[in-house]
Every structure is written in structure tokens, then in C-alpha cells.
Structure 1
Amino acid sequence: MFTRGGRKAALGHRIRARSVDQNIPDSARGRSTANIRSEPDIPRSSEALVHIVFVCTGNICRSTFAERYAALVDAEAGGSLHFSSVGVGAVIGAPMEELMAERLVARGGSPEGFIARQLNYDAIADADLLLPLESTHRRILIEEYPQLHSKAFVLRSAARLASEAPDDVDRVEWILQHRPSRTRGDSIADPYRRGPAAADEAAAQITEAIDTIFG
């Protein structure tokens, strides 16, 4: 097991392996990306070796909130992680949804500059941990990219695993080395166009899970 400070060294072998994997042709990746609209790249520091990707439906509500809130929490803890997000049916190019953006700002985060992106191989190929917001998202993810199944955990399932980790163990490593005993009931409902109460509930559930894993 590894402490938070030892995370880069512990995952170094994965990073080196990526350089080979990223040269795999689209046809061998589990899904062709030939007809998928190209998305803008997210700048990534060479020092940010651990990449966490959140996945939801439109990439404008839940996964966006998770990405930006997790970055805020991680920055307060020293800033050793890189976060991004995608949608299985993304509203490509759209900003963060207004109600969820308000709840993010209330927690000290910012939706500025966010652009929704579609799930495709290039967006997740170098991910160390994939955190879908619903079990349906995880199913879609591993059906299209079965080679990544061991990295994909429903967010609240991952949080439950993280809550069981010893204090001196890195929680990302702990999650990757264990499997949840159950996932039923762990999905976070889509708040899109369902009003303030639904946005409150989704934001609260995501906040709790993020704090447990990355706080």
C-alpha cells in the first residue's frame, strides 16, 4: 500500500505503459473513433501522473460538478491529481448546467471555462481511475472499452471502499486493489431539468463521495 506522497512512484509503471497503449489503432481499442467529433484537449502537467475521470450522461451536471469539486478538494490537500470528465451522451461544447454550477460555486468551486466532452477512447486512455456516476454509465463504459473494466468504479461504491482504507494508505490505490461488495443503490440520479431539490441532492451526494475519497 502507498501513502498519498508515494502515489507518483507507485503508479509510475502505469504511466510508462500508457505510451505504448496510446499507439494502438482505433480499430483495436474496443471502439472506432473515426466518426466521433474531435474534442478540445485538456492541458495536463507532466507532473500530474494520476488521472481521475468522472463519467455521466451529458457531462454538464454530475460529472462536471465532480470534476471541479474534486480538483478543489485535491488542491486543498496538496494538489497531486489531475481530474477530467466526459459524458456517454455529452452535450458537446456546452458549459456547466446552471443549477449545478450554483451549487459548485457555493462550495468554493468554479464552472468557468468548462466545455462538455463526449466519451471516447482518447479521453480515458490514460486514466488511472474511472468514476461513473451511475451503474449504467459503468456498464456502457466497460461494454465499449472492456480492457478498462478494472479501473471503473461507480463513484459512491468507490467512496464506500475508500472509507474502509487504513489512515496510512492511499485511497486511490486502495480502491484499485479492491472490489465493492455491492453497487445497488449507489447511482446518483441525474438532476438535469428536475429543479433545485434534485440539484441539491445530487450535489450533496457527490460532495460526500468526493470528500471521502480525496479529502
Structure 2
Amino acid sequence: MSDEFRILLVCTANICRSAMAEVITRAMLRSSPMPMVAASAGVSALVGHAMAPHAVTTLDRLGLDGRAHRARMLDLDLVRSADLLLTMEARHRDVAVGLDPAAERRTFTLPEFAALAAAEGHRRHRSDTAERARAIVLSAAGRRRPRRVPEVRDPYGGPPAGYDVCAKELGEALSHALGALLGPHPTPREP
């Protein structure tokens, strides 16, 4: 297994929710002590398209840049290479698992994983490595219960304020998820 932990964010067209989530995740991981990589894709991607203009504007207000993003289609190779797939809706999860049934234990809606991972934060794992993060994903899958899972609402086609609400929701869920995966970090001691 790789020392790098790979997160794949998935939505419909890969021009709004998963694209914003990818940019937000990368920003959150800039100072990560563990090598983590974030990417995104869509189940019906508008391949090659830029991020939706309102999504770019929302990211601008957060001090982030989504202009380089280009949509890509979810495929078997992307699913297989991801340690964790975070989808925006249950139907996106179903598509990913349909491509590779072995991905079921590492595929969640983002809000679902954020809740499961936050509860996981109190458990101990062997190290603060990609191995630890993979163990958290498997533990979360083992605690998942059949029920209607929370989803991230699509702001596409709605007012600009809907993108701000979506970005806030993404940021909060990603903060919980990444916080659990990365674990607590000791604060540096004063000399």
C-alpha cells in the first residue's frame, strides 16, 4: 500500500459540489503532516468544462482559486485508486460502487462520513499515517447503518447565495472528516 492517502470527491457534473470540495480539501491539506491527495469526478461529468461561475466566485470569496479545474468522468480506475470516496448524494455512491463493488466499504456521502469519522476520533489507531486513515475508513464502514443518508444539496441553477451555503456545508463536513483522518497533532513545545 502507498504512504499516500487518496480522497476522491464525486458529484453529478463535476463542475460545482465535488469541484468546490476538491479545492477546499486541498486548501485544508496544505499543512497536513500526512501525504494526502484530493481529486474529483462526476458520474455524468461535463468532461473538460470549467467550474460553474458562481462556484468560482464563492471560492474567490474564501480566498481559494477554482479556475484551473476541468471536469472529468468517474471511472473504474479512479474508484480503484481512491482510499476514500466521498459523494454528494446516495445515487453517486451507488454509481461508484456499481463500477467496483469492492469500493463499498470506502464509499460514503460526505455528510455521512463526516458524522461517522467524527465519532471515530475518540478511538485509537496504530499511527498517524495513511494506514491509520485507512483503518478509520474501514471502522466507519463497519459502524454504518442502513438508513437514508444525508446529502449535499446541489446549488447549480439556483441563486448565487446557494453556492455560499453549499461551500459552508462542504467546509464543515470536510473539516470533521479530515480532522478524524489526520488525528490530533501535538502542539510544538516552547524551547
1:14-60 deviations in Å (ceiling 9; x for gaps): x4xxxxxxxxxxxxxxxxxxxxxxxxxxxxxxx6x111000000000
Q: Which residue of 2 aligns with 1:9?
A: none
From the superposition, tell whether residues 73 and 144 of structure 1 become closer, same or farther in structure 2 (CA, over 3 Å). Answer: same
Q: Which residue of 2 aligns with 1:129?
A: 84
Structure 2 residue 15 is matched with structure 1 residue 63: no
From the superposition, tell whether residues 182 and 76 of structure 1 become closer, same or farther in structure 2 (CA, over 3 Å). Answer: farther
Residue aligned with 2:108, SS: coil
TM-score by length of 2: 0.80
From the superposition, tell whether residues 104 and 97 of structure 1 become closer, same or farther in structure 2 (CA, over 3 Å). Answer: same
What percent identity do the matched residue pairs reach? 29
In structure 2, C-alpha distance between the alignment counterparts of 1:160 and 1:183, rounded to whole Å: 14
Q: Which residue of 2 aligns with 1:93?
A: 48
Stretch of structure 1 that moved more, 72-81 or 162-171: 162-171
- The one of 119, 124, 140 equivalent to 1:178 is 140
The alignment covers a number of residue pairs equal to 170
Q: Which residue of 2 aligns with 1:201?
A: 165
Q: Offset of 1:77 from its aligned partner?
A: 3.1
Stretch of structure 1 that moved more, 73-82 or 200-209: 73-82
Stretch of structure 1 that moved more, 72-81 or 95-104: 72-81
Q: Offset of 1:120 from its aligned partner?
A: 0.9
Residue aligned with 1:55, SS: strand
Q: Is the 8 A contact 2:41 2:72 kept in 1?
A: yes
* Structure 2 unpaired stretches of 5+: 126-131, 180-191
Letter in 1 for 2:45: A
Structure 2 residue 107 is matched with structure 1 residue 152: yes
- The one of 28, 37, 61 equivalent to 1:73 is 28
Residue aligned with 2:38, SS: strand
Which residues of 2 match residues 155-170 of structure 1 at below 5 A?
155-164=110-119, 165-166=121-122, 169=125, 170=132
Letter in 2 for 1:118: M
In structure 1, C-alpha distance between the alignment counterparts of 2:15 and 2:30, rounded to whole Å: 22
Residue aligned with 1:178, SS: helix
Letter in 2 for 1:177: S
In structure 2, C-alpha distance between the alignment counterparts of 1:183 and 1:109, rounded to whole Å: 35
Q: Which residue of 2 aligns with 1:103?
A: 58
Q: Offset of 1:122 from its aligned partner?
A: 2.0
* Structure 1 unpaired stretches of 5+: 1-11, 16-46
Q: Is the 8 A contact 2:112 2:149 kept in 1?
A: no
Query: What stretches of structure 1 move > 4 A for 4+ residues in a row?
Result: 167-172
Q: Which residue of 1 aligns with 2:184?
A: none
Residue aligned with 1:177, SS: helix
TM-score by length of 1: 0.72
Stretch of structure 1 that moved more, 140-149 or 51-60: 140-149
In structure 2, C-alpha distance between the alignment counterparts of 1:183 and 1:93, rounded to whole Å: 35
Q: Is the 8 A contact 1:172 1:213 kept in 2?
A: no
In structure 1, C-alpha distance between the alignment counterparts of 2:176 and 2:57, rounded to whole Å: 22
In structure 1, C-alpha distance between the alignment counterparts of 2:140 and 2:117, rounded to whole Å: 10
